[in-house]
């Protein structure tokens, strides 16, 4: 589907300009003169026309109200090159476009391994604090009934933000990791967990960043997470990410009984679901047999 209906040809062709390979200008140029001498020219700049194309492209989309995504229909022809060109100058503007497009493939342009390697831990901590603040705002504003189709910028953000935060975990300080861990616990105990996609990635990042001792110190908090599996949000009990301890953990009796009760409840619910599924299948088979 083409969203660009009735737009000027020059603007409609901007994604094509942005996707063309940028030609590098020569830094040094040699010119042979008629008198057999040579003139050497050194170029101290670069052609930034593609940057201006990208700015015009985003401005055009905002002025005309053309989104990168309408429900499950996407139009991201120029998004990759636009984010690549503008991220060094307008990171928040580029982030908004990624959130609206709900496209995790473009996160590498802003939070890839090379980009994170170039940042110090203090810089990553500052970025993580900012995104954690955004994460908490989103968590308060998403609506649980919109878990399948995003109807606001908050639901669109919930699709992409977990992937960004998961990447930041690998270089954060221990204090910021604890803040992320607390926020994820609040999310997983709420009724909007299903709105957020890729929670498993955050757990993976956290537990690879936590040392064995860090994990042991947080075992009681880890056991507060639901004993559950949710395919929609890619959630699973974070206990599966814990490294094997040198010695068995000694739990408080109340915590032990609570966890044991949760496990029993989960097993019981799974068995009931299985029985219900079998009954429905049997009923459908009988109906099909006797109506023939």
Residues β-bridged to residue 41: 29
Q: What is the chain's Cα-based Rg?
A: 26
Strand partners, 32: 38
pLDDT score recorded for residue 89: 84
How far is the C-alpha of 101 from the C-alpha of 79, rounded, in Å?
A: 9
In this prediction, residue 282 carries a pLDDT of 43
Predicted confidence at residue 5, as pLDDT, reads 44
| pLDDT of res. 75 | 66
Residues 190, 139 contacting (CB under 8 angstroms): yes
Which two three-digit tokens encode residue 90?
């307008």
Rounded distance between C-alpha atoms, residue 83 and residue 87, angstroms: 5
Q: What is the pLDDT of residue 279?
A: 54
Query: What does the alpha-carbon distance between residue 118 and residue 121 come to, in Å, rounded to a whole number?
Result: 10
Q: What is the pLDDT of residue 278?
A: 55
At 61 the pLDDT is 76
pLDDT at 289: 38
Q: At what angle do helices 121-141 and 174-188 cross, to 10 degrees?
A: 10
Q: What is the residue whose two structure tokens read 């985003």?
A: 58
- Looking at residue 177, its pLDDT comes to 96
What phi and psi values does residue 271 have, to the nearest 5 degrees? Answer: -65, -40
* pLDDT at site 137: 94
- So where are the chain's domains? 47-251, 252-285+288-292
**Which pLDDT value is given to residue 23?**
54
Helix orientation angle between 199-209 and 153-168, rounded to the nearest 10 degrees: 20
SS (H, E, C) the chain: CCCCCCCCHHHHCHHHHHHCCCCCCCCEEEEECCCCCEEEEECCCCCCHHHHHHHHHHHHHHHHCCCCEECCEECCCCHHHHHHHHCCCCHHHHHHHHHHHCCHHHCHHHHCHHHHHCCCHHHHHHHHHHHHHHHHHHHHHCCHHHCCCCCCHHHHHHHHHHHHHHHHHHHCCHHHHHHHHHHHHHHHCCCCHHHCCCHHHHHHHHHHHCCHHHHHHCHHHHCCCCCCEECCCCEECHHHHCCCCCCCCCCCHHHHHHHHHHHHHHHHHHHHHHHHHHHHHHHHHHHHHHCC
Question: In whole angstroms, what is the distance from residue 206 CA to residue 132 CA?
Answer: 14
Low-confidence ranges of the chain (pLDDT < 70): 1-28, 34-36, 40, 42-47, 67-76, 273-292
Asked whether the beta carbons of 234 and 199 are under 8 A apart, the reply is yes
């Amino acid at each position: 589907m083409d969203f660009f209906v009735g737009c000027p040809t020059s603007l409609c062709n901007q994604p094509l300009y942005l996707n063309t390979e940028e030609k590098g200008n020569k830094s040094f140029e040699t010119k042979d003169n008629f008198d057999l001498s040579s003139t050497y020219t050194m170029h101290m700049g670069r052609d930034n026309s593609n940057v201006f194309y990208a700015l015009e492209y985003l401005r055009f989309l905002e002025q005309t109200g053309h989104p990168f995504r309408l429900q499950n229909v996407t139009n991201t022809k120029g998004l990759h090159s636009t984010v690549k060109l503008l991220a060094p100058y307008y990171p928040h503007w580029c982030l908004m476009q990624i959130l609206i497009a709900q496209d995790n493939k473009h996160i590498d342009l802003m939070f890839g391994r090379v980009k994170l390697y170039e940042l110090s831990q203090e810089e990553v901590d500052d970025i993580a604090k900012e995104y954690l603040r955004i994460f908490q705002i989103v968590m308060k504003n998403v609506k649980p009934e919109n878990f399948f189709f995003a109807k606001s910028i908050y639901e669109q953000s919930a699709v992409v933000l977990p992937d960004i935060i998961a990447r930041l975990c690998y270089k954060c300080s221990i204090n910021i990791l604890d803040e992320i861990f607390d926020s994820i616990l609040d999310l997983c105990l709420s009724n909007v967990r299903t709105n957020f996609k890729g929670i498993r990635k955050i757990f993976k990042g956290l537990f690879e960043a936590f040392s064995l001792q860090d994990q042991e110190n947080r075992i009681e908090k880890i056991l507060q997470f639901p004993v559950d599996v949710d395919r929609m949000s890619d959630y699973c009990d974070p206990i599966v990410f814990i490294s094997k301890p040198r010695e068995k953990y000694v739990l408080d009796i109340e915590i032990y009984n609570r966890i044991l009760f949760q496990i029993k409840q989960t097993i019981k619910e799974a068995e009931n679901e299985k029985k219900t599924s079998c009954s429905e299948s049997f009923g459908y088979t009988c109906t099909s047999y006797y109506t023939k």
